[in-house]
Amino acid sequence: MLRRVVITGMGVVSPVGVRLNNFWDAIKTEKCGIAEITRFDASRLPCRVAGEVKNYNGEDYFDRRTVLRTAMFSQFAMIAGKEAWEDSGLDKFKFEDPDRCGVLLGNGVGGLEIDDESHRRLIEKGPSKIPAMTIPKMICNEAAGNLSIYLGIRGSAHVIVTACASSCDAIGFAMDRIRCNRADVMLSGGAESATTEYGVGGFSQINSLSTNFNATPSRASRPFDKNRDGFVLGEGAGILVLEELEHAKRRGAKIYAELVGYGASEDAYHITAPCPDGEGGTRAIRLAIRDAGLRMTDIDYINAHGTATPTNDPIETAAIKAAFGDHAYKLAVSSTKGMTGHTLGAAGGIEAIITVLAIRDNFFPATINLDEPDPLCDLDYVPNKGRNGTINAAISMSLGFGGHNSVLAMKKYQPTI
């Protein structure tokens, strides 16, 4: 019999706020974190807006040596991971067997700003001027490695890279490690920081980013809206503490929600475009809900991938409708990327946290900037203003380049009698 997995801690770094309470207050009040890019001169780029973590200075959180030896995505993971760890109360708990606690994160591109700067030095000054820590800082696994070192976690530490589905997949794999008795506690989620000239320029070259709202940045990310024209790059980290239920109960931990299902599929269609009929997303939804032991009609809310690209939103809508049938029109569905931007490999972690808090507070977060719905997007997307409502079970969806589809299912924790 599979062991039950609950969520006992969470931490966030995001464009709308750092720390869990600040972040959730911003989401509940429809605060938009998208603004003109400040980290570099974006005047040469077709997209000049992004969801940056505001006024970020690593030395506000770490000593100078740590800042110099880590990329920004690793720093975000450490900040969010430490908050989640302390939120769970595990910072005061001693593991008798260190192998029973591990780290499993998702990341899409690694330390892009490190790659960018090191390449500049190579071209301008030659290979002898490449910084010595370039490789250790930029590779994707370093967020998990640095977080493990930072918190002294000595169990398994891995990273999953499935583009924008990375941290959703990571949470699903971490849940399975606990279910199958390979661990009692896993720190899981994702981190990303790709807001560089290289990153924004690269996504611009494949026509992924919004270009029509440079003058009004807060209006740029428009999931499911008829006038959407691409996603807006965001950054940050969302880390959750997953814990075996009896382990959590024995130490008197607070429980936010129960993580009950995970489903993943592959479109096998195109390297960047989703399959036009959404069939892969439909299968991932069905797999997650079946894995959870739930019925389709048990789901009250979906935190959608909802990137605001012309192709994603109607295809994701079709996937939801194919999976849920008539029940799709009774669900609340929202994309919170209108507020945070698209945080790539961190999106699944950040949006899983939003889904957990939505369940806890019985609150449907809004899809902001949804002023004129696309006729092909005809579900209840909670336009512009969040609202209260009963949420007993929900799913969070993440879809990634390469055809990756990933879905997590969560529900209110119900103690057994």
Q: How far apart are CA 180 and CA 111, in angstroms?
A: 32
Q: Longest Cα pair distance anywhere in the chain, in angstroms?
A: 69
168 is catalytic: no
Do the Cβ atoms of 340 and 100 come closer than 8 Å?
A: no
Question: What helix, strand, coil percent values describe the chain, rounded to 5?
Answer: 40, 20, 40
Tracing tokens 């369940």 back to the chain, one arrives at 359
The 10 Å Cβ neighbour count of residue 245 is 19
305 classed as catalytic: yes
Q: Which of 164, 168, 275, 377 is catalytic?
A: 164
**207 dihedral zone (left: phi>0; alpha: psi -120 to 50; beta):** left
- Dig out the tokens for 312 from the structure: 């994603």
Q: Which two tokens stand for residue 399?
A: 């879809």
What are the residue ranges of helices labelled H in 4-106? 20-28, 64-68, 72-88
130-135 contact pairs (CB < 8 A, 24+)? 133/68, 133/69
| Catalytic-role residue among 158, 247, 305, 404 | 305
Element (H or E) spanning 36, and its range?
strand 35-36
In angstroms, the CA 207 to CA 224 distance is 18
- Choose among 365, 351, 358, 366: nearest CA to 396: 351
Question: Dihedrals φ, ψ of 70, to 5°?
Answer: -135, 145
Of 158, 247, 342, 404, catalytic: 342
CA distance 79 to 20: 11
**Catalytic machinery residues:** 164, 305, 342
